[in-house]
Each structure stands twice: as C-alpha cells, then as structure tokens.
Structure 1
Amino acid sequence: MTGWHASDDLVTRYASGSLPEPDAWSVEKHLESCGGCAARVSLAVRQTAAGVVLADVREAVLGAGLGTALGTALGTALEAGATRTAPGARTGRGARASAAPGAPAPSTPVTSRARLWASRRLAPPPAGSRAARVLWAAGPAVRGAWPVAVLGVALAAVLLARFADFAGARPLLLAVAPVVPIAGVALSYGAHADPLHEIAAATPSAGLRLVLTRTAAVLAVSLPLLTLAGFLVPSSGAPGAAAWLLPGLALTLASLALAGYVGFRAATAVTGGGWLCAVLSPVLTADGRLTARLAEQVSACLGGATAQGGWAAAAVLCAALLAARRSAYDRLERR
C-alpha cells in the first residue's frame, strides 16, 4: 500500500457520480485497502441524493421483517432514485444516464417490475433457514463428505482395536489425526473447493475472518471425534489420546500461515505431507516390529512436556504470523 490517498475533490466527485471512469476505478481499487478513504467516501455518499435513498432503505429494513421490507424498500428506492437522480449522473459502474432534460422518468414500470421481483424473490425466509446459513458459512468441508471421512477414521481405529485386535490402533490414529483438520482446511476455502468462493470473497466477512471461521468449524468436528476414538482404543505404548491436540492445532495454524504465501492447496500439502513423512518414514524403513516402532516414533513426536511445549510455541508463532499478515488473506485464492 502506498502513501497516496483520495483527495476531497476526488471523493466528492466520486460520490456524485461525476468522476471519469478511469479515475473512479482507481479510487475503487484504493478503497479495497484503505479504510480511512472508504469511510470518507461513505460519508460523502450519505450527503448526496443517493444517501437519502439509502437511509430510506435502511429504515424500512430495520423497521419491518427483512423479507417483506426489502421488497418495499427496493421499490421505494428505485422510485425515489428515478426522481432524485440528476441527468448525467452515473447510475451504475460504467453506465451514464442518457435521458434528455424533460423526458419522463421511467419510475412506474421499473418500480412495478422491482416490486414484482421482490415479492417473488425476497419472501420471508422459511423456518430453519438460519441453521442452513450457519452451515453454509461453516464451509464446504463441513457440508460435504469430509465429516463422514473423519467419522470413518475414528470408527476404523476403534474397530481395528476392538474386533481385529490390532495393537497399533492408537499409534496409527495419533499419527493420522493431525492431518485430518489440515485436509478439512484445504477443502474449506478457495475456488477449487467452494463454487461460491468469488461471491464469499467479496463480502465484508471475507479474508482472514472467513478463513478462521471455517477453520474453527473444521476443528469443532474433528477434535472431539478423533479424541474420543483415541480414548476407546488401547494405548499400546503410545501417548495419551489427547496428545495430538496441540500438534494438530500447530500444524493447522502453520497451514494457514503458509497459505498466505503459496495458497491453501500447496500449504496443506506441505504441512500435512511433511508431518506424515516425519512420522511414518522411520517406521517404513524399520526391520520388523512396525507397531512398536510406530509407537516409539509417535511418542517421540507427541509425548512428554518438551514435545508439547515445542508444539505450543509453534502454535503461538504461527498465530502471530497470521495476525501480522492478515491483510494478505483479503486477496487470497481470487485468481
């Protein structure tokens, strides 16, 4: 971000719609990363005829039910805008009003169409829609097959221990568990995972806030299920069932921090693949005693105060890096 800011003249002309398109695009690009100029433009718009219309819309929406009020407010806004907009003012990005002075304003047909559209499209939300919106905001991973995969991992560990007498169920579960939330993060954000990513990325809740919201949803699903499964299987010389929690959190935060540089798919591949290589490579190269070797390797990576303290420090460091680079997530995964 440079030290340039929009002048008062630019702000006034942008709010009134008289600024040339190239200059308007430059101002709009600057507003994406400058809250101060955005606040000045918002204040300038509220002082124009459009500001009166927006105030009417806001009062109508806040004073009635959302679905019914939006239809009424939309018709009112278009009706008022047709009578208040001066000839030559910009009516939309890249558009100019071409009506000649004295020409009749097309408020009646436009308003009637708007009211008809609003009556069909802006009906009050059905019961349970709030839960549906919360589930949608939680991200594609929580809505898709990923929770089923988490449940499958947990059940497989329990079934292997209880019915197949597999002694390495807990060590194997502890080795795989930290990768599960990382996979959920990879499936929660980006155009590759969310068909509405471009729309979500343009909302005020986008950026790091949306990333953290969806990450929290992933952790809320995976942590209880995998930890409970760990308690239900024999230890077999492995650390406790909750020993993977700090490493899982640290690796998830590391994926988020690295995503600010290389994107989510590459970041999760690096962190998840690096963890699996570090834990499983020594086991695969061992001669026999794979279960015992896996338990030893998991204990070395997860067990003891020293290892847990290191993971806690890594989590704090990654969280600090996330906070320091939070602006990088405003433009993440948009290409």
Structure 2
Amino acid sequence: MTHGNARIWHASDDLVARYAEGSLPEPDAWSLEKHLEGCAGCAAQVSQAVRSTTAGAVLAQVRGAVLEAAPTVRQPLARTPPATPALPRLARLLWAAGPAVRGAWLPAVLLVAVGATALGYGGGFPGARALLLAIAPVVPVAGVALSYGPHADPLHEVVAATPAGGLRLALTRTAAVLAVSLPLLTLTGLLLPASGAPTAAAWLLPGLALTLATLVLASFAGCRTAAGVTAGGWLCAVLAPVPAAPGGEATARLAEQLSRCLDGAGAQGAWAAAAALSAVLLAARRPAYDRPIRR
C-alpha cells in the first residue's frame, strides 16, 4: 500500500494483483475493500484486474444476468415498499445458511426424527432411542458435507477468495446445520423410551466433536471425503459388536456399546477434549479455507 500521508493511501499494483488472485490475507482484503468504497481510482484498478482473471468472465456473466433481471424485480418491489428491505435480508440469510438447510437435508433430518418416533411407538421397537443415538452424531456431519464446497456453490472458487467466504462461511453454515439438528434430534430422543440406552443428550458432545473434526479434515481432503471418514469411523465403532450379537440381542448390544461410548464423565470428558482439540486444529488450518476446498 502506498501512503500519500497519514490519512490518504492508494493500493499498490502488487496488492491489487494479489486481491484479484484471491491470495490476499483476509485482514488486508477487508482493508482494501473498505478503501474502495471511497476511492474511485483504486476501485477501477481492482475492477480491471479482476476482469483479467479466470473469475472475471464468470463475474461478468453474473452481472449481466442481474442487470437483465433488475427491471423485472424493481417493478413489483416498488408497489410493495414494506417488503423491500426484508427480501434482501432473507436472501442473504438463506445463502449464508447453505444448501443443507435449504435443500433435501432438512427433510432428511425430519425423516430421521419421525422414523425413530414411529419405530418407538407405532412399531413397538424397544431400541428406537439406541438406534437414534447411533445415527444422530453423523447427521450434522452429513449436513456440513452438503453445505460447503464446489458441489454446494457454483461460484465456490470466487466466494472462497472473498472475506465473506472461507472458514467464516463454513462455520456459518455449520452453525445453521447444528441449530436445526441438535434440538430436533435431542427432543426426539427425550420422547423415546430409554430401554437401557444413554440419555437423549448424550450424543451432543460427540456430534460437535465429529463435526469439528470433519471441518479439520476437509481442509486437507474436501468436505465429502472428510465426512465419510468421520461418520464411517463413528458408525463402525458403535455398530461393530451388533452383527455378532446372538438372536434378538442386537438391540441390547447396541445400547451397551453406546453406553461405553457416551455414558459417564470419562467418555463425555474425552469427547469434550476431542472437540476442543479439533477447534484448535481448525483455527490453525484456517488459511487452507482461503483457497477453494476440494470436493
């Protein structure tokens, strides 16, 4: 950055090039974008640099589509002034929440909750809570896998290079997934008969730890691969003894294995430590989210 005096500065060619490539650190990107709000010269320089990148063609197409649709959008909004501020906020909220909350994932979570309730009461299945506790920790993991990455955003490469993208966007969408799945599945567990299974809230710390571990692994291998590793590892751990159970003891064996994994201060303390360690590792891996995450 070239400083004219203590209050006036202009972006250097190197700064503009790094911003256009998406390699500028987030604090510097925020500072530059704030400067561009009041400096037409630097704004024109940045605009020209971005247009010369691969993303420039994509941005030009998006801009053209928005401008083409603008007259159609403005006319109905002009007739309904009170709705004008709400629509952009709703659109931003839905975009930030991510495809997992907007798409098929939310009905899938509801299906898990309704299915467990139907098994417990309509089907008379005594191990409904145990089965729910075995599946519940992988539900938010699946939501995270569906929320972030090239498969979730057509413009993922562009978004990941902006200050609003990267880890911040991944955490926003993860929070949306957890805000839906945690209370819904925990409430469902409370409504089901215990039948020797752990308490309905026993899966919360494991679910949080597995979700954070997925975000850490995603910085190396992509969201879907990371989700497959963490969810698969959990399911193998809790379901491994079940096939070897004789006769109708599969439900009891599952409840016993879940008790080993979830019950007691030792198990919950281990999951809390795993969640804290994953959070620390995720903070250390934050720069990896400044680049597009692989599938």
Same fold by TM-score greater than 0.5: yes
CA RMSD, aligned part only? 3.4
Q: Identity rate of aligned residues, in percent? A: 57
Shift of 1:248: 0.4
**SS state of the match for residue 153, structure 1?**
helix
Among 183, 190, 207, the alignment partner of 1:248 is 207
2:49 to 77, 93, 114: 93
List aligned pairs for 1:1-335, cutoff 5 A: 15=12, 25=17, 28-29=20-21, 32-33=24-25, 35=27, 39=31, 50=41, 92-93=48-49, 120=71, 123=74, 127=83, 128-129=86-87, 130-288=89-247, 289-333=249-293
Kept after mapping to 2: 8 A contact 1:283/1:294: yes
Q: Which has the higher helix share?
A: 2
Q: Distance in 1 between matches of 2:125 and 2:69?
A: 61
Seen in structure 2, the aligned counterparts of structure 1 residues 222 and 279 have a Cα distance that, compared at 3 Å, is same
Task: Determine if contact 1:198/1:334 at 8 Å carries over to the other structure.
Answer: no
Query: Residue type matched to 2:232 in 1?
Result: G
What CA distance in whole angstroms lies between the structure 1 residues aligned with 2:51 and 2:242?
Answer: 66
Instruction: Tell me how far 1:293 sits from its aligned partner.
Output: 0.4
Q: Relative contact order (alpha carbons < 8 A, sep ≥ 6): 1 or 2 greater? A: 2
8 Å Cα contact 2:15-2:24 kept in structure 1: no
Q: CA, structure 1 residues 291+29, in 2 after alignment: closer, same or farther (shift >3 Å)?
A: same
Where does the alignment leave 5 or more consecutive residues of structure 1 unmatched? 1-5, 55-80, 82-88, 97-115
Structure 2 unmatched runs, 5+: 53-66
C-alpha displacement of 1:264: 0.7
The whole-number CA distance in structure 1 between the counterparts of 2:155 and 2:134 is 34
C-alpha displacement of 1:331: 0.8
- Residue type of the alignment partner of 2:104: A
Q: Which has the larger radius of gyration?
A: 1
1:92–1:278 distance in 2 versus 1, CA, 3 Å: same
**Partner Cα distance (1:187, 1:200) in 2:** 16
Once residues 46 and 27 of structure 2 are traced to their aligned partners in structure 1, the CA distance between those partners, rounded to angstroms, is 23
Are 2:137 and 2:207, in contact at CA under 8 Å, matched by a contact in 1? Answer: yes
Shift of 1:224: 1.1
Distance 2:92 2:31 in 1: 29
Compute the TM-score of the two structures, normalised by the length of structure 2: 0.78
How many matched pairs?
Answer: 268
Taking the aligned partners of 1:147 and 1:41, their CA distance within structure 2 comes to: 35
Distance 1:307 1:38 in 2: 42
Deviation of 1:259 after TM superposition, in Å, equals: 1.0
Q: CA deviation at 1:14?
A: 6.4
TM-score (norm: length of structure 1): 0.70
